[in-house]
Each structure stands twice: as C-alpha cells, then as structure tokens.
Structure 1
Amino acid sequence: MQACAAPPFAAGRALDGGLGYDPRWRPHDLLRLRRLQRFDGEPAWVRDAFERAPYAVVRRALAAGGFVAIGLRGTARSQRYGTWARSADIGTVVAPETLAEYQPDSERGTLAAFAALAALQRDMTGALAGFIWGPTGSTGFELATQVPTVTASSDLDLLIRAPAKLSHDTAVQILNQLQAHARRAGIRVDAQLETPAGGVALAEWAAGKARVMARHAKGPQLIADPWALAHGDA
C-alpha cells in the first residue's frame, strides 16, 4: 500500500495468533462495503473511489475483533490506501476463485489481461487443472465491480490455493504454462500461492530457492517450507 491509516484499535487488541484475521474473509477477497468510516489524513481520492466502487480488498495485516484490514484502490496506479473496515459494514464477499468463472463486458474482453484469463479458463487440462485459483488485482476488481479498471498494459495477477505442499516440479509446470500464456498475450502473469504460512510467489517456489518470502498478517518472513507447520514439522 502506498499509504496506510492508523489502526482504529489499540495494538494489544489485534489478533496475535493463528491467521491474524477473521477466517470469514481471506487475503485477496473483495468486500462490498455498506459504509467506510473516515480516518484522519486519508487521501483526497478515497471518497470518490469508494463512491465509484464500494469495494475493498482484504489485505494481510493484524486486526482486532470486529475489524478487517482492507486496501482501497483509486483510478491511478499510485492511488492505493490501506485502512480498516468494521465487520458489521461488510455486505458481500467475492473470492478470487469465484471470479475465475466471470467474463468481462464484451467490449473489454480484447484487453490483454482478459485475453490471458480467457485462455486459462479454456485450458481445462493444463497445469492449473485440479487447483482452486482465480484472478486478483485490477482484473479481479473489474470482474467483481464491473467498473473499468484494467488497462492495455495491466498484468494478470492470480491466486492459487495451495493448502497441501506443492512439489517444485509441479510449480515449474504451472509457471511454464502461465508464462506461455503471458507471452501470447504480451503481458506478465504474476501468480501467488496461498500457503499455510501466507502468500508465496509461484516463481520463487518454482526456482527451488533454499528459502522463500511468505507474506503473512504478522509481516513477511523468509521460510524454507511454507507447509511445514501445517503438517507438524518444526
């Protein structure tokens, strides 16, 4: 996030164990909000953006009970703001995997990010077959809100659910498939694995590095095995 509000709760009230957030909504979920409370020092564009599309994305940050950490986006790439919403103000939740089945408006479908997504949707026997996945970033935002957000230069961001350990060979297969689609579309396809330790870049895991960066509500950390705690390893 380019800027972030001060938490609307005492630091000691933030969840300090487990996920660090309410499991009813997960990072990258899009939330349609009934209202957005005001924060001192929030950027001038925030209210216009919220009126244009009353949606926010769940971000990785600790939150107290009754709150969820969210990110708001404006019309410019630099317009990103991290803040918090009250759980009671959440209307509907749209997960990335739900958006994997959505289609853009017909006149928008020729944009490269949507063309790459359509190719993945058609590739039923490709490396992503059997995985739960979906678009995030500007592509996911436009599909959820129907507000034009994707541009000709937009990348396609993806989230892949990976609750069980992913072999490096499988990661390489998925990465190669995504890069092939990216080359045909003329853009980048950036995929993140959602693991028990947090978000891990598919490209990092496929590279076979000794440690990879896992992004968690408590903050990023370098870790050898993002699945170790899930199966009881030290």
Structure 2
Amino acid sequence: MVMRVNLPVQPHDLLWGMPMATVPADAPAWVFEVITLGHPVVVRRAQVAQGWVAVGVRGHSRDQRFATLMSGADIAWRVQPEQLVDAVDNVVADWPALQALRQIRSLMNALGLPWGVAGGAGFELATGIQVLHQDSDLDLILRTDDFFSREQSAGLVEALDNALWRIDLQLQTPAGAVALREWAGAARKVLLKADDGARLVDNPWQLQEHAA
C-alpha cells in the first residue's frame, strides 16, 4: 500500500517503495539485489523534474553507492533522521557510534533545534540491517533554518569532541548543507552542498553572498 508523502522530501530521508522497473537497466547487479530485498533508498541533493526525487542506493560495502531517481508516487514509507534519535534505545548493537549517540542526545536536544541521525547509523537504526562497524563515525544533521553563528558552531564542535567517538555533523540550511566543523573554522568561505551543486560561500544563510 502506497502512503502519500508530501513532496519535497528532504536530503537524508530514507524512502521505501523503489520499484524494480525504475532501476536503470545498466545498474550494477548489487543494486537490483538490494532493491529486491526491499532496502530503502536515501534522498540526495540534485535538481530533478517535478514529482521525482533524487536518491542513492546503498550496497553492502562502502564503495557500493548508486545515484538514481525515484517517482514520488512510488514512495511507500518515509523515515526522517529526526525519527531515529530515540531508536537507539531499541537496539542491542553497541557500536562506538551508537554509544556516542546515547551520550550526546541530551546535549543535542538542549539546542532546541531539529536534529537527527544520518549515514550508516541512521540506516542501521531504521532498518535493523547491520552496516556499522567498530570504526564507523556517527553522522548527524542539525536543521538550522535561521542563522547559526560561527561562535555557536565552535562551541558545539568543542562539546561534540568530548563524546566517546567521532561525530560528523552537517548544518542543514535553507540553501543546502555545510559541515559544522568547516563553518566553525577560520576560513572565510565554506563549501555549501546545494541541489545545483557545491560551491564556496561566505554565509550559507545569505543567498546573495553566494559566490562560485
């Protein structure tokens, strides 16, 4: 049964329902395998036609990533990173990345901003499929619709550096994604990952300052 999901969905959302018929015929064999198994795809950043979603298929190894498109009409279920924050309480796996998630949860909640779990940790929490390992980082997103200062970012970096394990956090701005550590640093321009590509900008929250 298809659930009507309002578009646009957001980067890092996990989507179920990708039909085999829409997988490109020249896709690697492993792509057909994971779609057959009913694994979700992850929303990625790209410009697409109305009604379509840019997605990535995740394979069994780190080098298995395949970019393709999914029709919004085929979305059967969606899980967002924010929905996975507390899912860590229901898993028995105790990878360092998940230990770090439990440790920093109250810190992140105290920011008063929507945040969630992405990357391998998000995928494993959402599906129960083991993709993490002893050396996996914890990937997080923080939704910052309003300006989030460099000073705030530096303070957050310092706090996260006290965690049990390595944490990679992306700030999700209205214009695209910026690495927290980069925005907290000293460089005048930072790399903004947007739907139309990546570019260096002075301020990710001020579109008029975007520069190539």
TM-score by length of 1: 0.81
Output the CA distance in 2 between the equivalents of 1:49 and 1:222: 35
Output the CA distance in 2 between the equivalents of 1:192 and 1:142: 19
Identity %: 36
Give the superposition deviation at 1:64.
Answer: 0.6
Output the CA distance in 1 between the equivalents of 2:197 and 2:177: 11
Question: Superposition pairs for residues 41-52 of structure 1, below 5 Å?
Answer: 41-52=26-37
**Cα 1:53/1:140, change in 2 over 3 Å:** farther
Query: Residue in 2 aligned with 1:228?
Result: 206
Q: Is 1:157 aligned with 2:139?
A: yes
Give the superposition deviation at 1:139.
Answer: 0.3
Give the superposition deviation at 1:85.
Answer: 0.7
Match of 2:180 among 195, 198, 202: 202
Kept after mapping to 2: 8 A contact 1:210/1:224: yes
Query: Residue in 2 aligned with 1:96?
Result: 81
Give the superposition deviation at 1:88.
Answer: 1.0
**Cα 1:212/1:44, change in 2 over 3 Å:** same
Output the CA distance in 1 between the equivalents of 2:175 and 2:11: 13
Match of 1:131 among 107, 110, 113: 113
Q: CA RMSD in A?
A: 2.0
Q: Is 1:169 aligned with 2:147?
A: no
> What do the CA deviations read for 1:114-151 (whole angstroms, capped 9, x no partner)?
10111122x35x68531211110000001111111111
Give the superposition deviation at 1:155.
Answer: 0.7
Q: Is 1:35 aligned with 2:19?
A: yes
Query: Residue in 2 aligned with 1:57?
Result: 42
- Structure 2 unaligned segments of length 5 or more: list them: 1-5
> What do the CA deviations read for 1:38-75 (whole angstroms, capped 9, x no partner)?
20320110111123343011000111112110001011
> What do the CA deviations read for 1:170-223 (whole angstroms, capped 9, x no partner)?
101111111111xx23xx211100012200000010003211000011000110
Q: Is 1:219 aligned with 2:204?
A: no
**Cα 1:120/1:145, change in 2 over 3 Å:** same
Structure 1 stretches of 4+ with a deviation exceeding 3 A read none
User: How many aligned positions are there?
Assistant: 204
Match of 2:51 among 66, 76, 85: 66
> What do the CA deviations read for 1:85-131 (whole angstroms, capped 9, x no partner)?
111110111111111121265430x211110111122x35x685312
Q: Aligned partner of 1:155: which letter?
A: D
2:117 aligns to what SS in structure 1?
strand
- Structure 1 unaligned segments of length 5 or more: list them: 1-21
